A and B are shown apart, each in its own frame.
Chain A
Amino acid sequence: MIDCESFKTVVHEIDRPGCLEASVLDAAWGHAQSCARCARRLARTRKLTAALGALAKADEREHAPMRVEAQLLNTFRVQRKPARGFRQGKLAWWMAAAAAGALMVGAGLAWRRASVSRHARGSASTVAAIPRGTALSPPQTTLASRAGQVGHVHHNRPSSRTAKRAAPTPAPKPVAELAEFLPLPFADDDAPLGTAEVVRIRLSESALGVLGLPVSDEASRQPVTADVVIGEDGVARAIRFVSGPVPSEVVQQLQTMAFESKGANP
């Protein structure tokens, strides 16, 4: 059984399916049949439910105006574009980053090769130590052969980092392409070189006479780049022309003099 107070607490759920247990529902029905006041309460509650249902039914036709859909659709399209653009932009960013990384690695490798190459060339031509006791007696002494010695000298005392860097360096290609060293006139070929140095100089063609070389009357003032071997005694021993308009007759004369010197001092 159920009393009026209990009926009051469940009256709004009597017609709501699944809210009350069957036993409670039966008791509530029984009480409403026996209590006129609770029966009126149940009737009023049902009228309220019906009225709310009528309101819900009347509002069924209500919906947002069509312009809302159009505005939202425009917004959706605008929002979607940046989303795709962001994804594409992200992909492009990653591609750019990868390309930049590859470029940096490539540039690093190129710089490293150039650095090692410069190092090898510089050590061979600019300021190089030539082993003590090495004579410049052979007139056809080439920088290639000297370079081998010079390189050997340098490789005897490298820093570990230099050694690591220089280790993978291929044979100094530019050296093989360079011209041969020619002994200078008046140089004492039999005297030991001692710790000689190779110095790169730039001078005008007309200034070759300082070195005892023949200078033609039409010598130009254009600079000539040459590598000069300077012995321990400070005397220039040999020269190699690196660039510049050196007349071929100068070179020929130097070679002839060297040949004659070789013949005189076998």
Chain B
Amino acid sequence: MMRLEDQASDADLSRDMIAGDEQAFVGIYRRLQGPLYRFALQMTGSASLAEEIVQEAFMTLIRQAASFDAKRGTLQAYLYGICRNHVLRCVAQESPYVGMPEASSEGGNGFSELVDPSDLLASFAAVESIERVRRAVLTLPRSYREVVVLCDLHEMAYEQAASVLGCPIGTVRSRLHRARELLLAKLRPRAPGGMNVSVAERAEGAESQR
């Protein structure tokens, strides 16, 4: 995540880049390519698409650097916006992502594997859990997916995400809330009969009410 104190130098770098300074361009690229690549990867789930999107985004910057106005936002938000447009284009062209299975073939129970991050990274099971979470994110509808990626994975504030998405802050908040609820539902542990726990709980609750 970009620190706020770095943003002032973004304006300088972009000005120098527009003037033809190669080092300034390299500086911008090396500073922002990682987050942008990850954004594209987390939005599309495809490394090749993410590579293509990052390349296109910086190509756009090279061709239309003069269109960047530091008064209207940060260079980072500007590039995220370009990346998002390319993502939407790619997503529209590609076949929609197939939804993840509710339970893994190894019989994992999904949400129960959501444990402490330090433990997650310590074992193969943890890695697998991460991949499950990734797939869960990828199955979210696009408008919910992008707020989760920006606010949770890229730790953007609501204002920054709203700037990238071009929507009000309230929309970001409501979408994020709904997206996280969807994620919780997708990652909820399943009952032994293949039934979703929440469904089982509801059935159990109804039984007890009788």
Query: Residues on A close to B: CB < 8 A?
Result: 9, 12-13, 18-19, 44-45, 47-60, 62-65, 68-69, 71-73, 75-77, 79-80, 83-84
Residues of A within 8 A of B121 (CB): 54, 57-58
Q: What's the least CB distance linking A87 to chain B, in Å?
A: 10
Considering only CB atoms, which chain B residue lies closest to A17 in the complex?
B157
CA distance A73 to B30 in the complex (A): 12
Q: Verify B51–A51 contact, CB threshold 8 A.
A: no
**Beta-carbon contact of A62 and B154 below 8 Å:** no
> In the complex, what distance in Å separates the CA atom of A60 from the CA atom of B36?
11
Q: How many CB-defined contacts (below 8 Å) exist between A and B?
A: 120
> In the complex, A50 Cα to B119 Cα: how many Å?
11
Query: With A and B bound together, what is the CA distance between A47 and B184 in angstroms?
Result: 9
B63 in the interface (beta carbon within 8 A): yes
If A62-B37, A63-B34, A73-B25 touch, whether A54 touches B126 (CB-CB below 8 Å) is yes
- Cα-based distance from A18 to B42 in the complex (angstroms): 26
**Separation in Å of the B24 CB from the closest CB of chain A?**
10
Q: Is the interface of A mostly helix, strand, loop or mixed?
A: helix
Q: How far is A104 from B105 in the complex, measured between Cα atoms in Å?
A: 86
Q: Could you tell me if B130 and A68 are in contact, using CB atoms closer than 8 angstroms?
A: no
| Interface check B9, CB cutoff 8 A | no
Chain A to chain B contacts (Cβ below 8 Å), 20 pairs: A9-B177, A12-B181, A13-B173, A44-B114, A50-B114, A50-B116, A50-B120, A52-B148, A55-B134, A55-B153, A59-B38, A60-B34, A62-B37, A63-B34, A64-B33, A64-B54, A68-B54, A69-B29, A73-B25, A79-B63
Pair B55/A68 contact, Cβ less than 8 Å: yes
Complex Cα distance, B33 from A123, in Å, reads 83
* B58 nearest CB across to chain A (Å): 5
Cross-chain contact B152 with A56 (CB below 8 angstroms)? yes
Q: Does B117 contact A (CB under 8 A)?
A: yes
Instruction: Beyond the given A19-B158, A60-B38, please list 16 additional residue pairs across the A-B interface where CB-CB is below 8 A.
Output: A45-B180, A50-B115, A50-B116, A51-B117, A52-B148, A54-B121, A55-B133, A57-B117, A62-B37, A62-B41, A64-B33, A64-B37, A72-B59, A75-B59, A76-B25, A83-B20
A56 vs B26: C-alpha distance when bound (angstroms): 25
**B12 interfacial by beta-carbon distance below 8 Å:** no
Considering the chains assembled together, what is the distance between the CA atoms of A138 and B140 in angstroms?
A: 118
Residues from chain B with Cβ under 8 Å of A55 in the complex: 42, 130, 133-134, 137, 153
Cross-chain contact A54 with B177 (CB below 8 angstroms): no
| Interface check B183, CB cutoff 8 A | yes
**Residues of A with C-beta under 8 A to B51:** 64-65, 68
Q: A79 near B62 (CB under 8 angstroms)?
A: yes
**Are B59's CB and A59's CB within 8 A?**
no
> In the assembled complex, how far is the CB of residue A9 from the closest CB belonging to chain B, in whole angstroms?
7
Q: Identify which of residues 146-187 in chain B touch chain A, using a CB-to-CB cut-off of 8 Å.
A: 148, 152-155, 157-158, 173, 176-177, 180-181, 183-184, 187
Residue on B nearest A81 in the bound complex, by CB = B20
- Whether the pair A73, B130 counts as a contact (CB closer than 8 A) is no
From residue B126, how far is it (CB to closest CB) to chain A in Å? 7
Verify B184–A48 contact, CB threshold 8 A: yes
